[in-house]
Amino acid sequence: MRKSLLALLSLILVFGILAACSNKDEKNQGDKDNGGATTIRVVMKDDNSSNPVSEKYYDAIEKGLLEDENIKVNFELVDLPQGNYSEKLNLLLNSGDIPDMIYFQGGDQAMADQGLLEDLRPYIKESKYLKDIIQPFNEKRLENYPYLLWVKPLAPKVPVIRADWFNQMETSKTLMENPTVDNYYAFFKELVEKQPGGDKPKYAITVAGDIAEIDYMFDMAFGINKTWLQKEDGSYEYARVSSQQKEKLEFYNKLYKEGLLDPQYLTKQWDTKEKAFFDGDAGIIPGTAGKVIDIYDGKMVQVSGEEASLVTLPPAKGEYQGFGATDVTKESRGIAISANSENKELVFKILDYMASPEGQMIDRFGFEGEHYNAVDGKLQLTDKYYSEWFSRFWEPADYTPVTPVDETTPLLSESAEKSLQSAVEFYEEDNSFIIPEEYVANWDAMQNLYLEFTTDIITGKRPISDFDKFVKEWNEAGGEQITKLANKNLR
């Protein structure tokens, strides 16, 4: 009896082990081959598993991949907690949870330095579609830093104003013909004093949290056309500690003191900045060229009518003119592939598919019946398309959809098209370089020092005469070493 019991227990144990192994194999097979589809884990800033639009969008890509490329995938969207995307993403990655496809908006370099991101250049070279749509600045960035890809048009921050207010102002024509700093000041002044919206706007321009967005408008006019400015003796100095920067900060302080710059700009986030614009509290808002300007235009027309469609304003003109120099050291944001993914080739095939005519149809136009309707062989875009849809992946500079867009509902509004044209017209390449790892901590401290000082100057907490003190502090915080490095790299 005892022997029979032991034999029975042994048999149960064997079956248990076999069952566990079988379940483990099934789980592994299920992870890899979910109903014949390979699971690809994706983390993207604006998509999550609880968003029905996100789920529908990735379902459409799954269907397209299967029908057009005979690729079976199952997307699993990785959710992040609310808050700063870059910070939350880094917490996820540092925990060891690294999805197959990752959208970065900062924080990627530490991962690349650890060898955790895949070099994309060999894949692009052998691609079917992507190799034909990347721009020269994308190529330069990939050569310098081959881990991120972001095929989008040049996208500086471009200022816009509603047309009904713009058309009421006496200084508008002069500004457009000759957008000097003085003429911009006069335009701002009239906008607030005349208040073409009745009792609005309350201030001329709003930005989100710091002066980066307004710098796009004014940097080059004040002579800041590169990150590193060449002095008369041929040496280079950092633009933010230059005399040109000092002169620009005096101008910003003037705008703030006279109530032309949003007095709450420091506490503004992107959503409250936009609310101030659509509510009419701010007359001008800088927005990312292209689709963001298009969304702004659509929302403003919805809120205030067709006469309030947006006018794109030019960059200020002075020593130079433009929306700032374009950094070609690396993509500041973009999509990466995990070097540890078991499905790297498949992930890239997905990225390549999104550059195909079929992939672009999904990515650029959204859902039929919601964002567009097919009428007489043409796509008619809806109000919902203009107010909410955006491309998650690629936006080639030269794009002709397979099905043409109806002329009455263009892909981009006039102001959005103008913003992209301005970006190309005023393109200038920067001379910045990737800061070596051993200097990154110092560089971050120096940037924080810069932000703190500029805030104090603009808001009047410190006099402009303290600029020399700031330069001294900046050099002591590591600026002197990095300036030497810059002169070594740039000569």
Determine which of 17-21, 168-172, 237-241 has the lowest per-residue pLDDT on average. Answer: 17-21
Q: Residue 355 and residue 256: Cα distance in Å, rounded? A: 44
Q: What percent of the chain has pLDDT over 90?
A: 83
Confidence tier at 11 by pLDDT (50, 70, 90): very low
Write out the E strands in 2-82: 38-43, 73-77
Token pair 């024509």: residue: 173
Q: Tell whether the torsion through CA atoms of 463, 467, 472 and 477 is positive or negative.
A: positive
For 73-103, letters b (16+ CB in 10 Å) and e give bbbbbbebeeeebeebbbebbeeeebbbbbb
Confidence at residue 387, expressed as pLDDT on a 0 to 100 scale: 78
Confidence tier at 34 by pLDDT (50, 70, 90): low
Q: Residue 12 pLDDT > 90, yes or no?
A: no
Q: Residue 125 and residue 131: Cα distance in Å, rounded? A: 6
Query: Which residues, 6 or more positions from 235, have their beta carbon under 8 angstroms from its beta carbon?
Result: 487
Q: Residue 240 pLDDT > 70, yes or no?
A: yes
Q: Residue 453 pLDDT > 60, yes or no?
A: yes
Query: Which residues, 6 or more positions from 234, have their beta carbon under 8 angstroms from its beta carbon?
Result: 491
CA dihedral 18, 19, 24, 30 (to 10 degrees): 130
Q: Residue 322 pLDDT > 80, yes or no?
A: yes
Distances (CA, A) of 15 to 18, 22, 29, 395: 5, 10, 20, 55
> Does residue 105 contact residue 86 with C-beta atoms inside 8 Å?
yes
Mean local confidence (pLDDT), 137-160: 95
> Does residue 350 contact residue 69 with C-beta atoms inside 8 Å?
no
Q: Residue 321 pLDDT > 80, yes or no?
A: yes
φ/ψ of 220, rounded to 5, equals: -70, -30
Q: Residue 461 and residue 481: Cα distance in Å, rounded? A: 29
Residue with the larger pLDDT of the pair 317 and 398: 317
For 178-187, how does the pLDDT look when each residue is reduced to its tens digit (9 = 90+)?
999 999 999 9
Q: Show the domains of the chain with their CATH numbers.
A: 32-153+331-363 (3.40.190.10), 157-325+431-490 (3.40.190.10)
Average pLDDT, the chain: 91
